[in-house]
């Protein structure tokens, strides 16, 4: 299995797959223009190269994990070696149709996020016209090993990008605000950060495991004339929900503008 590109997203997938036992270091070949990034992966026993064409020639499944504006040049470089291969693209906004028009490979498009690094990724995938059922099962198994995944129609990928692809940054923003509030109230920066992060983690797990509606879960935390209601009234007054919805839509709109 090959990876072309090992930036933040590519390396988080690689390390996530290794940590989950979904792949072994000896199963991987990784290509990148940065020797510094490759040197980091060689510590895990992963074979590295700067030759994309040779990587595609010797791998059966290739993850395309470069920036969207570089995808076309990578496809042109590897087109001759791509017949019979499965290309799995994680490049935001790049359609399976675009890749299929520039390669002989079967194609699956994936929108992951960096949380695969700790086995908590939220992702979606869409099949190109040449992808087989076996390809689908392989990619679904890999993605499920590092989190939760869903098959969606490709026309929904921009929505996925705005929600879960960009989503970790929204939560980091919120956690930072909670941390700062804790510090202002006298907590140490470290304790405030860990309290905020663990609260976010725990709240997410409760949603996924308890099977209750969000209104029901909110009611479990709130009591009449209690502390939580006071906080929620501030959030409602500042229209925080509107801001978050607008953030997701803005990211999705940008993904649509960059699409090809």
Residue 218: CATH number of its domain: 1.10.3730.10
Q: Which residue has the higher pLDDT, 100 or 224?
A: 100
> Does the residue 173 lie in any domain?
yes
> 78-132: per-residue pLDDT in tens?
999 999 999 999 999 999 999 999 999 999 999 999 999 999 999 999 999 999 9
> Does the residue 93 lie in any domain?
yes
Q: What is the CATH number of the domain that holds 149?
A: 3.40.50.720
> Does the residue 162 lie in any domain?
no
Claim to verify: residue 78 and residue 183 sit in the same structural domain: no
> Could you say which of 157, 185, 213 is where a domain stops?
157
Claim to verify: residue 58 and residue 34 sit in the same structural domain: yes
> 54-84: per-residue pLDDT in tens?
999 999 999 999 999 999 999 999 999 999 9
> Does the residue 190 lie in any domain?
yes
End-to-end CA distance of the chain: 26
> Could you say which of 138, 157, 176 is where a domain stops?
157
* Residue ranges making up the domain that contains 202: 167-258
> 156-180: per-residue pLDDT in tens?
999 999 999 999 999 999 999 999 9
Q: How many domains does the chain have?
A: 2
> Does the residue 206 lie in any domain?
yes
> Does the residue 176 lie in any domain?
yes
3-state secondary structure of 101: coil
Claim to verify: residue 17 and residue 146 sit in the same structural domain: yes
Claim to verify: residue 116 and residue 176 sit in the same structural domain: no
What does the pLDDT read at residue 260? 79
Claim to verify: residue 151 and residue 208 sit in the same structural domain: no
Q: Which of 244, 258, 255, 260 is nearest to 158 (CA)?
A: 255
What does the pLDDT read at residue 241? 97
Residue that is written with structure tokens 């996020």 in the block? 113
CA distance 167 to 63: 22
The token pair that represents 217 in the structure block: 């879960």
> Does the residue 101 lie in any domain?
yes
CA distance 13 to 62: 13
- How sure is the predictor about 225, in pLDDT bands with cuts at 50, 70 and 90? confident
Q: Which helix (H) or strand (E) holds 2?
A: strand 2-4
- φ, ψ for residue 114, nearest 5 deg: -70, -5
Claim to verify: residue 172 and residue 136 sit in the same structural domain: no
> Does the residue 78 lie in any domain?
yes
CA distance 217 to 178: 20
- Spell out where 69-205 has E strands: 86-89, 106-111, 121-127, 147-151
Claim to verify: residue 153 and residue 171 sit in the same structural domain: no
Claim to verify: residue 49 and residue 133 sit in the same structural domain: yes
Claim to verify: residue 142 and residue 185 sit in the same structural domain: no
Claim to verify: residue 126 and residue 250 sit in the same structural domain: no
Q: What is the mean pLDDT of residues 36-48?
A: 94
Distances (CA, A) of 122 to 108, 138, 145, 184: 17, 17, 11, 33
Task: Inform me whether the pLDDT recorded for 149 exceeds 90.
Answer: yes
Residue that is written with structure tokens 């209601």 in the block? 229
> Cβ(136)–Cβ(108) under 8 Å?
yes
> Cβ(88)–Cβ(61) under 8 Å?
yes
Claim to verify: residue 223 and residue 181 sit in the same structural domain: yes
> Could you say which of 101, 134, 157 is where a domain stops?
157
Q: Which of 208, 91, 241 is nearest to 161 (CA)?
A: 91
Q: Which DSSP symbol is given to 242?
A: H
Claim to verify: residue 127 and residue 192 sit in the same structural domain: no
Q: Which DSSP symbol is given to 119?
A: T
CA distance 67 to 103: 18
């Amino acid at each position: 299995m090959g990876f072309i590109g090992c930036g933040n997203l590519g390396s988080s997938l690689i390390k996530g797959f290794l940590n989950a036992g979904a792949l072994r270091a000896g199963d991987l070949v990784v290509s990148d223009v940065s020797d510094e990034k490759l040197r980091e992966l060689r510590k895990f026993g992963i074979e590295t190269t700067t030759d994309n064409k040779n990587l595609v020639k010797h791998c059966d499944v290739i993850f395309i994990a470069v920036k969207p504006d570089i995808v076309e040049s990578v496809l042109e470089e590897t087109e001759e070696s791509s017949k019979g291969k499965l290309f799995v693209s994680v490049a935001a906004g790049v359609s399976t149709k675009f890749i299929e028009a520039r390669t002989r490979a079967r194609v699956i498009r994936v929108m992951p996020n960096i949380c695969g690094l700790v086995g908590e990724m939220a992702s979606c995938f869409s099949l190109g016209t040449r992808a087989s059922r076996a390809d689908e099962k392989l990619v679904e198994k890999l993605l499920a090993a590092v989190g939760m995944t869903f098959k969606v129609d490709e026309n929904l990928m921009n929505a996925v990008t705005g929600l879960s692809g960009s989503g970790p940054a929204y939560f980091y923003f919120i956690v930072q605000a909670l941390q700062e509030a804790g510090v202002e109230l006298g907590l140490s920066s470290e304790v405030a950060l860990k309290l905020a992060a663990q609260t976010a983690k725990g709240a997410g797990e409760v949603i996924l495991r308890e099977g209750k509606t969000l209104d029901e879960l909110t009611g479990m935390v709130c009591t009449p004339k209690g502390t939580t209601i006071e906080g929620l009234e501030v959030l409602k007054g500042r229209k925080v929900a509107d801001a978050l919805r607008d953030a997701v839509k803005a990211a999705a709109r940008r993904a649509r503008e960059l699409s090809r």
